[in-house]
A and B are shown apart, each in its own frame.
Chain A
Amino acid sequence: MNNNLIRNFCIIAHIDHGKSTLADRLLESTGTISSRDMRAQILDSLTLERERGITIKLVPVRMNYKAQDGQNYILNLIDTPGHVDFAYEVSRSLAACEGALLVVDASQGVEAQTVANAYQAIDQNLEILPVINKIDLPSARPDNAKQEISEVVGLDASNAVLTSAKTGAGINEILERIVTDIPAPEGDENLPLQALIFDSVYDNYRGVICYVRVINGKIKSGQNIMFMSNGIVYPVNEAGVFKPGFTPVNELGPGEVGYITASIKTLAEAQVGDTITDAANPANKALPGYKKVKSVVFCGFYPVERDNYPQLRDALEKLCLNDSAVTYEPESSEALGFGFRCGFLGLLHMDVVRERLREEYGVELVATAPNVIYEVVKTSGEIIEAHRPSDFPDPSEIEEIREPYIKLSVFVPSEFTGRVMQLIQDRRGTYKSMDYITPERVRIIYEMPLSEFIVDFHDKLKSQTRGYASLDYELIGLKPSELVRVDILVNGEAADAFSFICHKDAAYNRGHAVVTKLKELIPSQLFEIPIQASIGRRVIVRVNVRALRKDVLAKCYGGDITRKRKLLEKQKEGKKRMKQIGKVAIPQEAFLAFMQVDGSEK
């Protein structure tokens, strides 16, 4: 295979700017998939992705294209996720390519993630080909979009391709420009093998399937390969390309994108970012990998039925084979039994994982409210990581609490500036800067605690701006905060499951919301039950669940006695399933509702 006839590229875009539709059109134009077989947005192969209209997993595909110069080219498209949570996966795709199509919606213009993704591509030294999409829309302003690309992103967009993935206009020009503008991969087939694993999936029959980009050397079936990070050697069962289905080939040479299988049992052995080399003739150094992804949002997953714990564990294990960004470790909750504390890249990622567990593995689960990791500096000087409220020491032992902060940039029409700033300030945001992208649009930059961001900030932002705002964020580290742990006491006994961490100014409102919700959900019992919220020993809110007034309904004569007894037995059973805190039985719904109250009521 001649390197000069290969082009590896990806498409980067803000969410909803038409990336997937454009990809579909490219596949259709090159005859990779006939329009008859074309399901809308074929690359979004996970059902979830199709339902939500977002791309999560990388899906590579290989196209054949006969260019105007008469040569037959191989174009490898490596699709990328568009959501901010998956910036990490974007960077993986970028590492396997020489160029990127930067897609900008002709009516929306540059959005927050356009900038973030473009900068990442520039950082990876990729050639960027600007594409203005959706030019068929009446509201299209392609010249404004071009101007925004050059002013906001700083790229020359004067020769951007104008296209409509919907009508097909400009598609051929894109294909031609991929060939002419994006450099061919370099690489030498005579050097020792170096191939980058940019993704992997788990298949029940074949084990781990590694998606690879060959840099130097060749890879073929039967060859003994070695993973350079751990030295593990496997014989290759099959090498192949994405057509878009898995299609075996004799060998993969430099510049090529494909897959290999080698009966690899766990993803831990074939880590994304690792370099594959020839066991007999190893390369002297590995390719630059990826920085290890770090979970920033955490929550607990528990099976709805306690007996289904093993099922949940198996499902998580399998899912992690496909999604190395998920972390999990067992934990147990008094209220919910055994489950897992899971870490995610962001809120959407968390949702996606939960949905996948349900849809693909049939696991019904309860997810606890998302939270972040705090750092607590004790008066003794010791520093501890606090994952959950129970990790917090007594207030008297706390010197300082630090929490993760993000730098948030929001692009929004200027008429919404006030509302957006208010929203962010209500969530403890600190103003950094604001500039006009165009006379009608501003970029607002704030710093805010991640914990405030993960609690439905995105939804609130969208609804406050009628969907016009776009955002991007990056973690900027830990900062000290005036946080407190609020405990909930039921009938004088601490109910750990309901404790939460919040800023001291929000403690009363949040405490009030939780206590009120619990009052609704804890059934009346034979005695009055006080429910209190406290910080340390100081009670800040109190309500009472009134004692039960009446529960006797039916008469009870000869024929009723057995039935009545069975009814009581059933009630007793129901009560056994409740969590006993002191003398009070608390139904599971209360725990579930707490997880909601924590999220929705500020």
Chain B
Amino acid sequence: MAQRNNNNNNNFYALYIHVPFCEKKCGYCSFYSLAGHNNLIDSWLETLGREAKFYTGSKIKTIYIGGGTPSILNISQWHKLINIIRENFDINNLLEATCEANPNSLTRELINFLRENFFTRVSLGVQSLNDNELKILGRLHDSRIALNAMNLINESGLNLSCDLIFAIPGQTLRTWADSLKRVIKFASHISTYQLTLEPGTPLFSKYDNESLNYDGYKFFRYAQYYLPRKNFLQYEISNFALSGYECLHNLSYWNHDNVIALGPSAVSYLDGVRLKNPPDIHKYFKLDKNLIQREKLSERENLIELAILSLRTKYGVKRSDLLPEVEKVLMQMPRDLFIITPERISLSKRGMRVGNSIWSELIGL
């Protein structure tokens, strides 16, 4: 792999590390991960160490350990992972570090470890606090285990973010309201996702569109109604947070900030170039640059993409960053989709519900 240029204008990087291991694949998940291959973890760590060398000395502002299930690593493996980070990167100015975890594999030992190192947040895959819904999703935990894990994180002082899924077969507005209500007692950040059945996942073959709450409108609408009343502001289409608890790492993606991403299937964004590692652990082990997918958009396409990504957030897009034709198209759409100030255009609540239709008008302009 070629030495990459680290001396870009934006001196700070977001660092993402993909842990491609799970105890069990969830029926709806289409991310790259392997279940029952923990024997590969050491080789993965070894490769990760070599891959990190390409970026030696880079200044990191945020870290996100995602997966897969990072909490599946044992403590000695965690030590190795932390060492890779510490040895290769400059984390003196670190603002935020998040680790994803599943309620059933999160131990007090791991929480202590995270707190003793540089971590500030745990993103917990709660998904629902209704046991039936958890069963349908094929999760390994129930609501008791989830609440227990939430408790442990609260006690540790780490910030807690919870993922919740809506439009689960059989889910009602009441069960959704109940999950939200219980989660906000513990979390400072909530990510809500609509269950989308990707072809090739087990749930996809089990349910047809009829049995799904397929547009998810009522659930999303309710979250938009309820969470702000509890001071969780919708700062991005899928994300709600108490003020000051927004996920800085994820904001990097929507701002086109530079991201170093390590691990199989991980996608880096470096000075306008997107690089995707192969989504195959054995190919990843080769660290062969020919196996990396490289995408560089034209300046124009890049500006449109940035507009689309920025419109996901409550901060919206700077009008000075907008191509005139993009601005024109936005201005021709119904006004109630937007909040328009002299400097910025952002989506209203309603706009956030119909983002796809807005963006698809911008693509290819």
Contacts and interface: CB of A to CB of B under 8 A. Distances in A.
Contacts of B191: 555
B276 A559 contact: yes
A526 B347 CA distance: 13
Given A549-B353, A561-B253, A562-B276, A554 B196 contact: yes
A553 B196 CA distance: 7
Contact of B309 (A547, A555, A556, A575): A556
Contacts of B276: 559, 562
Interface in B251-270: 253-254, 259, 261, 265-269
Given A561-B274, A569-B364, A548 B253 contact: no
Contacts of B194: 552-554
A568 B295 CA distance: 17
Interface in B221-258: 221, 237-238, 250, 253-254
B193 interface: yes
A537 interface: no
Interface string B187-209: 00001011010000000000000
A232 to B, nearest CB: 56
- Which one of B238, B267, B356 has the highest number of Cβ atoms from chain A below 10 Å of its Cβ? B356
A568 B250 contact: no
A575 B356 CA distance: 13
Given A561-B309, A562-B274, A568-B363, A552 B267 contact: no
B310 to A, nearest CB: 12
Contacts of B309: 556, 561
Contacts of B266: 558-559
A571 B308 CA distance: 15
B353 A550 contact: yes
Interface string A544-579: 000111111111111101100100110110010000
A294 to B, nearest CB: 50
B358 interface: yes
Contact of A549 (B217, B237, B305): B217
A74 to B, nearest CB: 66
A550 B295 CA distance: 30
Nearest to B32: A559
B357 A558 contact: no
Interface string B65-93: 00000000000000000000000000000
Contacts of A555: 191, 193, 238
A561 B333 CA distance: 24
Contact of A552 (B259, B261, B269, B355): B355
Nearest to B301: A565
Contact of B217 (A526, A550, A557, A565): A550
B259 A558 contact: yes
Nearest to A573: B364
A527 interface: yes
Contacts of B269: 558
B214 to A, nearest CB: 9
Contacts of A548: 354, 357
Interface string B14-25: 001000000000
B348 to A, nearest CB: 12
B354 A562 contact: no
A557 B295 CA distance: 16
Interface residues of B, number: 45
A425 interface: no
Interface string B341-357: 00000000000111111
A552 B356 contact: yes
Nearest to A528: B334
B222 to A, nearest CB: 12
B220 interface: yes
A549 B350 CA distance: 8
B333 A572 contact: no
Given A559-B267, A562-B295, A568-B363, A526 B353 contact: no
A556 B193 contact: no
A229 interface: no
Contacts of A554: 193-194, 196
A72 B334 CA distance: 88
Given A553-B216, A559-B276, A569-B363, A526 B354 contact: yes
B364 A552 contact: no
A571 B356 contact: yes
Contact of B334 (A526, A549, A562, A568): A526
Nearest to B305: A565
Given A526-B354, A551-B355, A558 B267 contact: yes
A547 B360 CA distance: 16
B359 interface: yes
Given A526-B337, A559-B267, A551 B354 contact: yes
A525 interface: yes
A548 B361 CA distance: 15
Contacts of B250: 557
Contacts of A565: 305, 308, 363
Interface in B290-346: 295, 305, 308-309, 312, 333-334, 337
Contact of A568 (B31, B353, B356): B356
Given A553-B196, A569-B363, A526 B253 contact: no
B312 A556 contact: yes
A552 B360 contact: no
Contacts of B274: 561-562
B215 interface: yes
B240 to A, nearest CB: 13
A525 B356 CA distance: 11
A568 B196 contact: no
Contacts of B268: 558
A92 to B, nearest CB: 55
A568 B304 CA distance: 12
Contacts of B357: 525-526, 548, 551
A559 B268 CA distance: 8
A598 to B, nearest CB: 29
Given A550-B215, A556-B309, A572 B363 contact: yes
B360 A575 contact: yes
Given A559-B266, A561-B267, A562-B267, A550 B220 contact: yes
A550 B353 CA distance: 5
Nearest to B362: A568
A572 B360 contact: yes
A547 B357 CA distance: 11
A507 B153 CA distance: 69
Contacts of B333: 526
A553 B215 CA distance: 8
A556 B253 contact: yes
Contacts of B221: 550
A526 B312 CA distance: 17
A556 B247 CA distance: 13
A565 B301 CA distance: 10
Contacts of A551: 215, 353-357
Contacts of A559: 31, 261, 265-267, 276
Contacts of B261: 558-559
Given A527-B334, A561-B274, A561-B305, A571 B360 contact: yes
Interface string A308-320: 0000000000000
B358 A526 contact: yes
A572 B361 CA distance: 7
A549 B267 contact: no
Nearest to B215: A550
A526 B295 CA distance: 31
28 contacts: A527-B334, A548-B354, A549-B215, A550-B216, A550-B220, A550-B353, A551-B215, A551-B354, A551-B356, A552-B355, A554-B194, A555-B191, A555-B193, A555-B238, A556-B253, A556-B309, A557-B250, A558-B253, A558-B261, A558-B266, A558-B268, A561-B274, A565-B305, A565-B363, A568-B356, A571-B356, A571-B360, A572-B364
Q: Top 4 A-B pairs ranked by shortest CB distance? A: A551-B356, A550-B217, A550-B353, A571-B360
Given A551-B353, A558-B259, 6 more contacts: A526-B334, A526-B357, A551-B356, A552-B354, A559-B31, A568-B359
